[in-house]
Structure 1
Amino acid sequence: MAKLLLLFVALLFQLQLSLQQECSASSLCPIGCCSSAGFCGFGPDFCGTGCQSGCDRKADCNPGTWNSTKWSKSEKCPLNVCCSKYGFCGTTEEFCQGNPVKRPSCSVDSVPITRVIGYYEAWSTTNRPCYGMLPEQIPYGYYTDVIFSFATIDPNSFEIKAGDSKTADYMQRISAIKLIQPDIRIWIAVGGWAFNDPGPTQTTFSDIAASSANTKKFIDSLVQLMNKYGFDGIDIDWEYPVAEDRSGRGTDYKNFVTFQKALYDRMKGGGLKKQVSLTLPASYWYLQHFDIVNLEKYVDWFNIMSYDMHGSWDIDNKWTGPFVNSHSNMTEIQQALDLLWRNNIKPAKVTFGMAFYSRSFALTSSSCNTPGCGISSGGNAGKCSGTTGVLLHAEIQDEIAARKLTPTLHREAAVKSVSWGDQWVSFDDAATWRLKANIIRGQCIPGVMVWAMSQDDKDGTNIKALTSSVGRKQMAVPNFTIKQPVRDLPQPVKTCRWSGCYSGCPDGFKAVQRDGHKEAMLSTENCLADGMSVFCCPSDQDLPVCTWRGHRNSGACQPGCNSGEVSVGSLRVGCSSRHQSACCTNVGSTSSYGMCKWVGEAPTCNKGCPSDFPNKIVSTNTADGGEQPCVSGNKHYCCQNPTPADFTNCEWVKKGNPAKFPDKDFICEDVCGSDRIKVATEVTNPYSGTNSGCFGGAWAYCCKPPVALVPRGDDDPYGGVQNKEFQTLLEDYMQNPTCPATVLFIDPGDMFTGAANQKRSLELEAAEHRVLYGRAKDCKLDHYIRLTQYAALMLTAAANVLKQFSVVWNDIFAGHYDTELEADNLRTYFNRHPDILDPHSLINYVLLNPLRAGPGIRQNQRTEEMFCHYVGTRRKRDVQLRSSSTAVELASRHVWWMEAGNNGQPSMAVILEGILNGDLSPHYARWQWIDGARRTGPMLEMAYWIGPNAGQPSGSQYDRYRDTHTLNHGEPDRWVVFHFHINADFNSYPYLWETNGHTYIGVQSIQVFHAHESTGPTNGGAWRVQGNSNADARTQRDGFVCPEDELWYIGTDEGLPSGSDQLQRNLRQWAQNLFNEGYLSSESIALIMRDLTFYNNGEINVQDSSNADFMSYWAPNPRYQQSMYTINWVRRYDTFILSPTEPPPQSPTRKRNQEEKEIRSVGERIGGEGKW
């Protein structure tokens, strides 16, 4: 890595030397002015008197030796970087000449990382086939902040918005993590690199910042958005102001500060108290256009993108050149940090960027694979990233494991790298993140951020490594445990006590030092065998100051404590008369002693308790063990009123527990248990008053402090605030189970995680539920949303986190409806397809269809057993089916492949029956190619016309195949459309299978939906039907997906077991027809494949087609001389009929609506009302 830095410095040096090139009046300098002597340079000597050409050119800065401002664009360099003697700005020694930057300095251990921020890509589940993250899958306990990326801005109204319905859906769901991690902050980010790409929004930031009115429109809409979705902060990601290559304007520099001030003031005022951050580039080229000194005043912190230092764009860059280097090279990132330090930016306002992805390269020679070697292009696209020159860290680890690679550590750059073949990529892991973390903590930076948390694997490998590397720990799991029955629980004793002769201080206590001495407060009174008692006090409280008082060298001791002290014991050692007193300051742990005192003095002990200490606790001959014994009478331990609670439950004890001398009953041990306080001793038997019982030692009077009662709550068996709320929400739902479907019209969402939604209102199971419970009137949308957030987390969070939520769910909900809906069963069902099934939509399906969800899931399980094959051995496997909807382009819908409700929605069994009896006729089939989402590969779209004659209107007698329960009298359904998805990864999903003399096509998923309208030819392709053009009618789309390691080979002869139902029988017959008629057969898939070989019967020879692959989108089929991804066809008499019957014309209602829309559009353009 170091030689690349030297190369860059050399290039800069050559640039400055180039100023000495020869020139003339007719030969311009490449840079600078041509002097009278014919040399190139800047300043008065070159551009002043005698200048021959280029005389109006100016240097970047004034090195301080030019006495006029006319020779340079600016007196100083941007960002306070150094100006060389030639008038160029830079940061290396050639520019700064012994004037290095002053970096902040801290000891690493003194700077804990207090911010760990994760950017969440809203598109990770729709644009990537793997390594995406649902909102409910955000790992618990690692991040302090999550930034949802991105909202967009309307370039005309300047209002911030979600952009599409899937983003809006995820905005609502992203806050689910707060249910179990309440202190996490959820932000919204706006902008991003693509936002300033050529297009409608390329100047939107500039337009907003240039106008106070536009700024107000943006901020007003932002407040509304933040209040709607509960966002805690706003992150501005303007990439980039001023820069011409990013559609910037010169006025952006000042306008940005004005805009940021208005934003900051609004976020901090009016009771909002929202956070504000700003994204900064790590490139001087772009950062120079940020007035960071003034912007710092109006942010809580900057998020610096300390990655993407290198990439495939270097190939054509004359300054960096086509050479291998890491995109997170710390030596270059340090230069970016130095730009902040040159401007005295506070380290506390800096958040350092880490990446969960890397930039990869294709080497010009596989034999040269170290930094500085040549590159020809970006590296091969990752299976999940889908982008040339980009690999996610999870993908890199997959390559390392599969190829058994050994990474190389580049310690100075704080990165690792691997190479294989002509591929090279660097990456970060726990070791390199630790190196980086130590550097930034040494410069007092307390925060890190990640692009992007949603690129992590399902185990959170990257965030776990990063958390450990920066010295943090995962937060402890919240206490959601079920409360035990209320009972009295012992509490730690808070009063000091003597340890007893044969043991040390009990747990939670420590020995008290004797004031002014090195030893502790000790006593040997009544101790045998070198025993010694220590005075102990609670270690979690302030310790008292203690000492022995009263000793006299004459032996005539004078007991007693000073003012502010209490007596806690006595000692006869060193006293010929009377005793010494153990005195301690009166603090909380000694206060009980201060409320009592010994009354009576040897030799004649005949005094009673005084009136101010009226309560006698115990009477004894030697008091607390160290006083002179009485010749007559007893001493009394007298206490104030009320008696201290510590001294109300007491008894005489002869032996310790365990006993020091268990086999010598005549020895008394003068010891209490660790949970008791000794207040008195007695040599004679305190119960009989005789000398029998102790021929060594003494009895101990031991008091047991009271047990504090745990405050009683209600009788709720479910513990925790969140668990209580979940219980309440479920109980409310059970009172009105029809509410979500019939009152709130909840959209159940898309069962596939990758689908792009268009939200609609649905009404499900209304009739059946009205009979059971009546129509609900008092339900609330926010309650239902919160309920589904809890329940979705129950499926996705670690089992130990929300285990108690499962108890609530099973007891209140599943126990009432169906054991199939118990939490463990649903979790297993979800985990069978973790990368495809959407947990939020699954919960919606269950709650919207509580009576049918259980039977529906069981039916799907049986169906999958019959039709899905394990691709490793082609044998069936007992696994669970997942019902779901399309992964890419389909609108939201409810699950009716499983079971249909009684509200005008046909079941799948009915649809298949219509196909088999000819009521639904094939209108067209067409291959499509699907990229991204949760699968990549071809998809066969097959549209059935509702009616026996394709394209000819059909009457109400076919309504049984339509969804007749439309809203607002929308257009009737005219098609039922199926999508058959094939995964193009043959190694993992062998989509061709030879058996019994035939070759079958394996599909991973099938989706089905209703459609009402068609689209004209687009992108060179033929017309297609669509299901979401009419917002007033529902387009029900569903299907099922085999588990990730299974496929359904269409047309194989499935022997149905006894007990199979109508759906399974119809499904089998339909699949065999699709194969026999050539829709899903060798002839069909050959339309879009190349390099195939065939048997004599026309079926694909899989073994001899090892080089076969799918054609690109525009590649012509050799037989038909056109792309088969753009052509509609049907099969008739074993022949492909291309461009079959055109769609019927739009319905009169639809046509009129379109005309009215066009008239309205014209009216808006001319400023009129658009009347018609």
Structure 2
Amino acid sequence: MKKKDPDLKVFIAIGGWTFNDPGPTATIFSDIVASVSYQKTFISSLMSFMSTYGFDGLDLDWQYPQAKDRSGRDADFVNFPKFMARLKKAMDAGGKGLTITLPASYLYLQHFDVKKLADSVDFFNIRSYDLHGAWDQDKEWTGSFLNAHTNLTETELALDLLWRNDIDPDQVVMGLSFYGRSLTAADSSCMKPGCKFDEAGKQGKCTLERGILLNSEIDALVKENNPGIEFYEKEAVKVATWGDQWISFDDAETLKLKIDYAQSRCLGGVMVWAISHDTKDAKYNEALATILDRPTTGGTIEKFQNKQCRWTNCKESCPTGWVNVPRSDGGARNKKHEKMWDETGCGGDGARSFCCPPGEQLPTCGWYGFNNGKCGKGSCPSDMVEIGSSQMYCHNKQNYESACCTTNVKSMKVYGTCEWGAYPDCNSQEDCPGPDENKDTLMAGSPSGSGGGECNVLKNGLGLNMPGTQQRKYCCDASNPDLRIDDCQWFKDVGPVPAGASNSFCRSGCPPDRVRVAVDTLTNVCSAAGLGGMALCCKTSFSDKDDIEVENLKLDAFKSAMESWAKDHAVPRRADLEDVVANSSTSTERAARD
């Protein structure tokens, strides 16, 4: 993201509401601010963490100091500003920013010494949302009333608490939300302010939590239910109702009213909780950018591109971290641990290697059809595709051996969308499709196929030979934009040149953003020198969003420990276990055995 937006600053946020729920983390903030040694340990760890991962600052979200219902202690009020002063000094020395999150209600804001804290933060983030919700039910100071969770009139009252403490407005950032709070009305005929609710609203399909709906869910429900929508301009909020469901939320219109208010009060800016609550096409982020006259770097969710295995250029080894695929076609080659490599088109000076990206499962690959030099017309096992070919060591120069790989791993999926057509009478197949009817797009033609073949010469209408060579068809399934080969182009000037080669030598390499699928060694411009070849280089597209593997070190450690334990411990047979249970003298012992 920083490459797209050089001005972007990324802070790490620590804390949150559930962090102070009963449990192992409930008193961590109170413990840290009460001990100088704990503070030093925390600050040292924090600075190391931010340096390691490139964070620009910290937003500390303690919910809430001193509050007894949030595991707070009385000493927090005095200790927190002292801790923040030490933290600010360290952050300034490291060139890092520091902010804290403040509540909008006096109930919790009273526990923050905001005057002293103002000296130790770059700005305050005010949580001017979640002002109301299902938690209001039967509470003395709120009651079970239909109240919007974000309300400009109440926000103004909250900010007044800061102005009374002489906080500079430029140091205050007002919070906005990309979600709404939903309630179930006590009486579906009474949906106005002052009416009551019975419980939280129904859960959404994404949040799976009652009482809250993301903006993306609200948009879908509005489209589905065609509800009545009330616009409360003074409060800068909208309310949608259908059946007994009631939901308060913001859209572009109310967001503008809130931002206009922030500007009228000279606030330092606005923030949003949270960008993950937006629609897939970043509708609300785009709305904010328009209101604020801010440029954007593109709002759509990017897909994860799966890198594909590829041939290197001649004389080049695999890129750092990539793996040269071993040969698995049997015999002595396996014992010698041979790798997949090919000399075709390299001019007798080196070879290219077939390499797969790091961290991916390797395909099964090999060379097939050599038969001690008595090569055939080239073929791969039924579960493999041809990724290359060679006739260099074949006795009959129209025959060749095939380099073949399976396509059942991510790094080979794209190759499985294409196949080579008829050979050696290559023009007998006038067009695609070939054997696979789905592969009906003619991506390219090559007189030497993937590199080692040699199609028949051209013939005229009388069947007589003509100058030139037929073209073998490369046919692909291009129907899926997220899984296909496309934009195939011929290159003859990429890669190293053998020592002493003439100016007409064709370098059979590909640019780094393309994979090589064929080498044409028969084109006149290249064959004049008797060496080299043009490379057919294509772009690949294989993207997904759901099946992204994430490294889990704890899970890997657990698996390793379990495997180690299993090797050292004999597992009793079921019959042995039954004998043990049958011979147990007491029911307690039998239960223990079970």
Structure 2 length-normalised TM: 0.56
What is the rounded CA distance, in whole Å, between the counterparts of 2:53 and 2:341 in structure 1? 32
What is the rounded CA distance, in whole Å, between the counterparts of 1:881 and 1:774 in structure 2? 27
What is the rounded CA distance, in whole Å, between the counterparts of 2:558 and 2:134 in structure 1? 41
The answer to whether the 8 A contact 1:738-1:769 is kept is no
Q: 1:473 aligns with which of 272, 284, 294?
A: 294
Q: 1:355 aligned to 2:177?
A: yes
The answer to whether the 8 A contact 1:311-1:359 is kept is yes
Note closer, same or farther for the CA distance 1:476–1:196 as it changes in structure 2 (3 Å cut): closer
Note closer, same or farther for the CA distance 1:346–1:322 as it changes in structure 2 (3 Å cut): same
Q: 1:216 aligns with which of 32, 37, 40?
A: 40
The residue number in structure 2 matching 1:414 is 236
The answer to whether the 8 A contact 1:358-1:427 is kept is yes
Q: 1:737 aligned to 2:318?
A: yes
What is the rounded CA distance, in whole Å, between the counterparts of 1:857 and 1:260 in structure 2? 59
The residue number in structure 2 matching 1:854 is 414
Note closer, same or farther for the CA distance 1:285–1:1007 as it changes in structure 2 (3 Å cut): closer
Q: After superposition, what is the alpha-carbon deviation per residue over 1:875-921, rounded to whole angstroms, capped at 9, x for unaligned?
A: xx9657889xxxxxxxxxxxxxxxxxxxxxxxxxxxxxxxxxxxxxx
Q: CA deviation at 1:404?
A: 2.2
The answer to whether the 8 A contact 1:233-1:275 is kept is yes
Note closer, same or farther for the CA distance 1:212–1:329 as it changes in structure 2 (3 Å cut): same
The residue number in structure 2 matching 1:500 is none
Q: 1:463 aligned to 2:23?
A: no
The answer to whether the 8 A contact 1:282-1:305 is kept is yes
Q: CA deviation at 1:254?
A: 1.2
What is the rounded CA distance, in whole Å, between the counterparts of 2:259 and 2:70 in structure 1? 32
1:231 alignment partner AA: F
Q: 1:200 aligns with which of 24, 44, 51?
A: 24
The answer to whether the 8 A contact 2:318-2:353 is kept is no
Q: CA deviation at 1:1150?
A: 6.2
Q: CA deviation at 1:287?
A: 0.7
Note closer, same or farther for the CA distance 1:467–1:406 as it changes in structure 2 (3 Å cut): farther
User: Could you say what secondary structure the match of 2:48 adopts?
Assistant: helix
Alignment of 1:436-515 (within 5 A): 436-469=258-291, 471-475=292-296
The residue number in structure 1 matching 2:99 is 277
The answer to whether the 8 A contact 1:261-1:298 is kept is yes
Q: 1:248 aligned to 2:67?
A: no
Alignment of 1:29-48 (within 5 A): none
The residue number in structure 1 matching 2:13 is 189
Note closer, same or farther for the CA distance 1:431–1:1029 as it changes in structure 2 (3 Å cut): same
Note closer, same or farther for the CA distance 1:317–1:769 as it changes in structure 2 (3 Å cut): farther
What is the rounded CA distance, in whole Å, between the counterparts of 2:277 and 2:85 in structure 1? 33
Q: CA deviation at 1:436?
A: 1.3
The residue number in structure 2 matching 1:20 is none
The residue number in structure 2 matching 1:318 is 140
The residue number in structure 2 matching 1:388 is 210
Provide runs of 4+ in structure 1 moved above 4 Å.
769-776, 856-859, 877-883, 1005-1008
Gaps of 5+ in 1: 1-176, 478-729, 744-765, 786-816, 819-845, 867-876, 884-1004, 1009-1025, 1035-1144, 1153-1172
1:248 alignment partner AA: G
Note closer, same or farther for the CA distance 1:276–1:856 as it changes in structure 2 (3 Å cut): farther
The residue number in structure 1 matching 2:560 is 1031
Alignment of 1:590-669 (within 5 A): none
Q: 2:86 aligns with which of 231, 238, 262?
A: 262
User: Could you say what secondary structure the match of 1:296 adopts?
Assistant: helix
Q: 1:1149 aligned to 2:568?
A: yes
Note closer, same or farther for the CA distance 1:858–1:189 as it changes in structure 2 (3 Å cut): farther
1:260 alignment partner AA: M
User: Could you say what secondary structure the match of 2:10 adopts?
Assistant: strand
1:408 alignment partner AA: E
What is the rounded CA distance, in whole Å, between the counterparts of 2:548 and 2:60 in structure 1? 39
Note closer, same or farther for the CA distance 1:1150–1:1030 as it changes in structure 2 (3 Å cut): farther
The residue number in structure 1 matching 2:445 is none
The answer to whether the 8 A contact 1:738-1:775 is kept is no
Note closer, same or farther for the CA distance 1:1028–1:452 as it changes in structure 2 (3 Å cut): same
Alignment of 1:801-950 (within 5 A): 852-856=412-416, 879=480
What is the rounded CA distance, in whole Å, between the counterparts of 2:39 and 2:289 in structure 1? 38
Note closer, same or farther for the CA distance 1:305–1:1006 as it changes in structure 2 (3 Å cut): closer
What is the rounded CA distance, in whole Å, between the counterparts of 2:66 and 2:312 in structure 1? 57
Q: CA deviation at 1:767?
A: 6.6
What is the rounded CA distance, in whole Å, between the counterparts of 1:293 and 1:323 in structure 2? 34
Alignment of 1:771-790 (within 5 A): none
User: Could you say what secondary structure the match of 1:384 adopts?
Assistant: coil
The residue number in structure 2 matching 1:1120 is none
The residue number in structure 1 matching 2:154 is 332
What is the rounded CA distance, in whole Å, between the counterparts of 2:35 and 2:71 in structure 1? 17
Alignment of 1:29-68 (within 5 A): none
Q: 1:379 aligned to 2:201?
A: yes
Q: CA deviation at 1:423?
A: 0.1
User: Could you say what secondary structure the match of 2:295 adopts?
Assistant: coil
The residue number in structure 1 matching 2:222 is 400
Structure 1 length-normalised TM: 0.29
What is the rounded CA distance, in whole Å, between the counterparts of 2:317 and 2:80 in structure 1? 52
The residue number in structure 2 matching 1:429 is 251
What is the rounded CA distance, in whole Å, between the counterparts of 1:773 and 1:211 in structure 2? 62
User: Could you say what secondary structure the match of 2:559 adopts?
Assistant: coil
2:27 alignment partner AA: T
The answer to whether the 8 A contact 2:20-2:26 is kept is yes
User: Could you say what secondary structure the match of 2:23 adopts?
Assistant: coil
Note closer, same or farther for the CA distance 1:257–1:369 as it changes in structure 2 (3 Å cut): same
The answer to whether the 8 A contact 2:262-2:269 is kept is no
User: Could you say what secondary structure the match of 2:202 adopts?
Assistant: coil
1:178 alignment partner AA: K
What is the rounded CA distance, in whole Å, between the counterparts of 2:3 and 2:548 in structure 1? 34
The answer to whether the 8 A contact 1:738-1:773 is kept is no
Q: CA deviation at 1:849?
A: 7.2
What is the rounded CA distance, in whole Å, between the counterparts of 1:261 and 1:731 in structure 2? 56
Q: CA deviation at 1:476?
A: 7.7
Q: CA deviation at 1:768?
A: 3.8
The answer to whether the 8 A contact 1:430-1:468 is kept is no
Q: 1:287 aligns with which of 85, 98, 109?
A: 109
What is the rounded CA distance, in whole Å, between the counterparts of 1:291 and 1:731 in structure 2? 63
The residue number in structure 2 matching 1:1068 is none
What is the rounded CA distance, in whole Å, between the counterparts of 1:1027 and 1:255 in structure 2? 41
2:287 alignment partner AA: A
User: Could you say what secondary structure the match of 2:560 adopts?
Assistant: coil
Alignment of 1:1059-1098 (within 5 A): none
The residue number in structure 1 matching 2:452 is none
User: Could you say what secondary structure the match of 1:348 adopts?
Assistant: helix
Note closer, same or farther for the CA distance 1:853–1:882 as it changes in structure 2 (3 Å cut): closer
What is the rounded CA distance, in whole Å, between the counterparts of 1:363 and 1:416 in structure 2? 16
1:293 alignment partner AA: K
CA RMSD of aligned residues (A): 3.9
- Which of 1 and 2 has greater Rg? 1
The answer to whether the 8 A contact 1:429-1:466 is kept is no
Q: CA deviation at 1:775?
A: 12
Q: CA deviation at 1:731?
A: 10
What is the rounded CA distance, in whole Å, between the counterparts of 2:13 and 2:70 in structure 1? 19
The residue number in structure 2 matching 1:614 is none
Note closer, same or farther for the CA distance 1:367–1:208 as it changes in structure 2 (3 Å cut): same
**Larger relative strand fraction:** 2
Note closer, same or farther for the CA distance 1:290–1:856 as it changes in structure 2 (3 Å cut): farther
Note closer, same or farther for the CA distance 1:302–1:1148 as it changes in structure 2 (3 Å cut): same
